[in-house]
């Protein structure tokens, strides 16, 4: 049985009352007699009435929809975790989530934002923007914008993680296991987009923590360890191939590292693959630490890593958006903590 959706007016006619009465019953507000309530509920059930949120949105100027802008959900499982958390928080609050992957293209992202605006979403969350100016368009239109995981604009609010403290924990862990030749495998900070306010990229913080951590223990950082192509060369980032190349180079040094800290689990997969190919055992020969805790538990050996609180990132991101929508006080920035998850890829220095 295929039927067109019933409208409020049809329900009202069937119940023998006005649309206002039906509305009052459904919204549970104002005065309604028991008699009227019964008739309305019966009519609603009989017609299988479902409110048209399009009409409601037009009338109330509030769509209960948020936009989630992603680089590309396939690039890093971190985004998947965040997207899931955002969706869960949104649904729980009666909101819907529209997704858009810009794939690293500023113009594509621009198009997505125009779509969000045309759609009159109530807020937009970014899991990495392709271009801060795009975020500004939103802010100029009066639509709340929140950045999750990294903060690249001065205008939008953000939820992120303390990357310095997180990376430092990884280094300290390795040092405490007796490692002295610890290598850093990450992206070139110069290539990563910067936080406009602090002028530091995520990778700057992690690299600084590595250097400071080494220095604090009287150790010398290892050279020549980061090169990742352009940040938005998505294939490069996701392949783990970079991790392999770095590791091949590092292990060919006269004094190869006994431990490698990779700034992303995906990079760490390349490290593990490279070591596997050359017959090195992890952690007996070389220890490896990752960052994110995305696929770490699926690797062999299970990877020790700095966990990003993906659920909290998503939930706080949505909560900030909701607060902004409702005109409540919202902090400019929330900084969460990472946690070091020690698994099987780290052990005493050989």
Report the sign of the C-alpha dihedral through residues 251, 257, 262, 263, in that order.
negative
> Residue-wise over 47-62: b if at least 16 C-beta within 10 A, else e?
bebeeeeeeebeeeee
Candidates 26, 32, 53, 197; binder of a copy of itself (CB under 8 A) is 53
Choosing among DNA, a copy of itself, none, which partner's interface includes residue 235 (Cβ < 5 to 8 Å by kind)?
A: none
Please identify which residue in 55, 253, 278, 335 interacts with a copy of itself, judged by CB under 8 A. 55
Q: Which of 110, 139, 111, 103 is nearest to 124 (CA)?
A: 139
In the complex with DNA, which residue's Cβ is closer, 46 or 190? 46
What residues pair up with 339 in beta bridges, in sequence order? 307
Within 120-201, residue ranges assigned H as helices are 132-140, 163-176
Distance, CA of 232 to CA of 309 (rounded, Å): 23
Tell which positions 61-120 bind DNA, by CB under 7 A: 61
Q: Decide which of DNA, a copy of itself, none touches 326; Cβ closer than 5 to 8 Å per partner kind.
A: none
Residue 46's contacts (CB-CB under 8 Å, 6 or more residues apart) are 14
Does 42 interact with DNA (rule: CB under 7 A)? no
Please identify, using beta-carbon distances, which residue of 46 and 91 lies nearer to a copy of itself. 91
For residue 3, the minimal CB distance to a copy of itself (Å) is 7
Closest CB to DNA among residues 32, 73: 32
Tokens matching residue 309: 């609180």
Among 46-54, 85-93, 177-185, 209-217, the segment contacting DNA (CB under 7 A): 46-54
Query: How would you label 134-151 residue by residue, b for 16+ Cβ within 10 Å and e otherwise?
Result: bbbbbbeeebbbbbbbbb
Nearer to a copy of itself, 70 or 207 (CB): 70
46 touches DNA (CB under 7 A):
no
In the list 13, 19, 80, 208, the residue contacting DNA (rule: CB under 7 A) is: 19
Query: Does residue number 293 form part of the binding site for a copy of itself (CB under 8 A)?
Result: no
The entry of a copy of itself, DNA, none near residue 266 (CB within 5 to 8 angstroms by kind) is: a copy of itself
Beta bridge partners of 69: 100, 126
Q: To the nearest 10°, the Cα dihedral for 205, 206, 211, 216?
A: 90
Question: Which residues sit opposite 183 in a β-bridge?
Answer: 260
In a 10 Å sphere around its CB, with 0-12 CB exposed, 13-18 middle and 19+ buried, how is residue 184 labelled?
A: buried
Q: Among 10, 32, 47, 51, which residue interacts with a copy of itself (rule: CB under 8 A)?
A: 51
What secondary structure letter does DSSP report for 194? Answer: P
Euclidean distance between CA atoms 275 and 272, whole angstroms: 5
Letter string b/e over residues 97-118, b meaning 16 or more CB atoms within 10 A of that residue's CB: bbebbbbbeeeebbebbeebbe
Q: Decide: is 32 part of the binding site for DNA (CB under 7 A).
A: yes
Site for DNA in 169-198 (CB under 7 A): none
Residue 100 φ/ψ, nearest 5 degrees: -150, 125
Interaction between residue 21 and DNA (CB under 7 A): yes
Query: Is residue 63 near a copy of itself by the rule CB under 8 A?
Result: yes
* Residue count, binding to DNA (CB under 7 A): 29
Nearer to DNA, 30 or 350 (CB): 30
Q: Which does 20 bind (CB under 5 to 8 A by kind): DNA, a copy of itself, none?
A: DNA
In angstroms, the CA 63 to CA 47 distance is: 24
Q: What is the pattern of x (binds a copy of itself, CB under 8 A) and - over residues 84-103? A: x--xx--x----xxxxxx--
For a copy of itself, the binding residues (CB under 8 A) are 1-5, 50-55, 57-58, 63, 65, 72-74, 77, 80-81, 83-84, 87-88, 91, 96-101, 112, 114-115, 117-120, 139-142, 239-240, 266, 269, 272-273, 275-277, 295, 297-302
For DNA, the binding residues (CB under 7 A) are 5, 7-9, 16-21, 23-24, 26-27, 30-33, 35-36, 49, 51-52, 55-56, 58-61
């Amino acid at each position: 049985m295929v039927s067109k959706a019933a409208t409020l007016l049809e329900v009202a006619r069937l119940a023998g009352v006005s649309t206002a009465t039906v509305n009052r019953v459904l919204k549970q507000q104002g005065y309604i007699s028991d008699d009227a309530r019964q008739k309305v509920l019966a009519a609603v059930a009989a017609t299988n009435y479902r409110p048209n949120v399009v009409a409601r949105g037009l009338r109330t100027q509030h769509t209960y929809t948020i936009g989630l802008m992603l680089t590309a959900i396939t690039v890093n499982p971190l985004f998947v975790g965040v997207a899931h958390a955002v969706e869960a928080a949104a649904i729980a609050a009666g909101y819907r989530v529209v997704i858009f992957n810009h794939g690293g293209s500023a113009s594509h992202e621009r198009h997505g934002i125009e779509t969000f605006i045309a759609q009159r979403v109530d807020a937009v969350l970014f899991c990495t923007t392709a271009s801060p100016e795009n975020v500004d368009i939103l802010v100029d239109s009066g639509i709340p914008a929140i950045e999750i995981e990294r903060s690249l604009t001065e205008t939008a609010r953000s939820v992120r993680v303390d990357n310095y403290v997180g990376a430092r924990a990884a280094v300290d862990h390795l040092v405490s296991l007796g490692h002295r030749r610890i290598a850093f495998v990450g992206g070139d900070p110069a290539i990563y987009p910067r936080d406009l306010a602090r002028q530091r990229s995520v990778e700057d913080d992690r690299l600084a923590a590595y250097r400071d951590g080494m220095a604090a223990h009287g150790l010398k950082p290892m050279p020549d360890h980061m090169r990742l192509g352009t940040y938005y060369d998505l294939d490069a980032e996701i392949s783990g191939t970079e991790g392999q190349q770095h590791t091949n180079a590092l292990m060919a040094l006269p004094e190869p590292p006994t431990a490698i800290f990779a700034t992303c689990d995906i990079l760490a997969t390349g490290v593990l693959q490279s070591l596997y190919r050359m017959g090195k055992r992890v952690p007996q020969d070389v220890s490896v630490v990752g960052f994110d805790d995305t696929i770490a538990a699926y690797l062999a050996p299970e990877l020790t890593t700095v966990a990003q609180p993906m659920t909290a990132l998503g939930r706080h991101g949505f909560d900030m958006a909701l607060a902004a929508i409702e005109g409540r006080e919202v902090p400019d920035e929330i900084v969460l903590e990472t946690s070091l998850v020690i698994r099987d890829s780290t052990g005493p220095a050989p």
